[in-house]
Copies of this chain bind each other. A is one copy, B any other.
Amino acid sequence: MLNLFWADEGGLPAADRGLAYGDGLFETIRMEGRQGVLLSRHINRLTRDAARLGIAVSGRELRSVCAQAAHRLAGGFGDAGWILKLTLTRGAGGRGYRPDPVMVPNLMVAAASIPPVPDPGGVVADFSRIPLTVNPLFAGIKSLNRLEQVMAARDLDDRLFEVIMSDSAGHLIEGTRTNLLVKVRDGWITPAGATLAVSGVMREWVLERLRERGEHVEERPLTTDDILGSDCLGLYLVNSVLGIVPVRTLADHDLPVETGLATIFNPFELLE
């Protein structure tokens, strides 16, 4: 059971815990007409991570909402792709931080246009000044607690596409809105899922495809040297809205750009 809200009719109730404490999660799903890209993965992640937070929602409910949303909202974008945003909160109520034992979640549905397509020849990125803290209990969860990403994203501009955030040990973890994938001579390196602030569905999908193709993918801590050193054959930023984006310049260092990955994998053909 959940309370459904359409963003084009207004916001969530004043007492919603999503606003009060970031007590909830969200998904941004790339849509082509009424079909979603990697839709089942988004729904599965949201259901699974909601359960980790003790927010009860079923995949069946979410699939039904996505179908309603596609029906209602796709027309507004003509033939263009669009973004379906689901914001799921624990609901309204509780005493301060303490939730009530049983709560009915609120789900707000919004539509947005797709951001500009990045230069296929590669984008410009830098290291972020904002350290990333990852609570091991909530690693990977796309919760509404995203102040670190907001503060890091204040440094972005039309030239700078992304900044890469590091943990307190100095390991590179992820961009503000992208996961990292590094091509090296014998395969690929990416930070392990348990160390991520947000574990993207596109990351998951790409890693599966690489492994299916027999490529070696190592999940381990990522250092600056891994990217700026001579072993690096390419740095890719991945997320479910933009797909796979090569980086051509990182912190004023030119990186090798191979567009092979983007050519081989076109996730936007994978509509459900």
Contact = CB atoms under 8 A, between A and B. Distances in A.
Contacts of A54: 151, 154
A146 interface: yes
Contacts of A16: 11, 19
A22 B146 CA distance: 6
A17 interface: yes
Given A96-B153, A143-B147, A11 B19 contact: yes
Interface residues of A, number: 55
A150 B99 contact: yes
Given A97-B150, A115-B95, A151-B137, A19 B18 contact: yes
A22 B135 contact: no
Given A22-B144, A54-B154, A7 B11 contact: no
A145 B132 CA distance: 14
Contact of A21 (B10, B96, B137, B150): B150
Given A12-B11, A13-B11, A137-B130, A19 B87 contact: yes
Given A96-B153, A131-B135, A144 B19 contact: yes
Contacts of A108: 14, 19
Contacts of A70: none
A147 B23 contact: yes
A96 B153 CA distance: 9
Interface string A60-77: 000000000000000000
A19 B21 contact: no
A96 B161 CA distance: 12
B97 A149 contact: yes
A195 interface: no
Ranked nearest first, the 6 interchain pairs of A and B with the lowest CB-CB distance are A22-B22, A7-B14, A97-B153, A145-B145, A21-B146, A98-B153
16 contacts: A10-B13, A11-B19, A14-B108, A19-B89, A19-B144, A20-B146, A21-B22, A21-B146, A23-B150, A53-B151, A90-B150, A97-B153, A97-B176, A130-B135, A138-B148, A145-B145
Given A137-B151, A138-B148, A145-B147, 19 more contacts: A10-B10, A10-B13, A11-B19, A17-B150, A19-B87, A19-B89, A20-B26, A21-B150, A22-B144, A23-B146, A96-B115, A96-B177, A97-B146, A97-B149, A131-B137, A133-B133, A138-B151, A143-B147, A144-B147
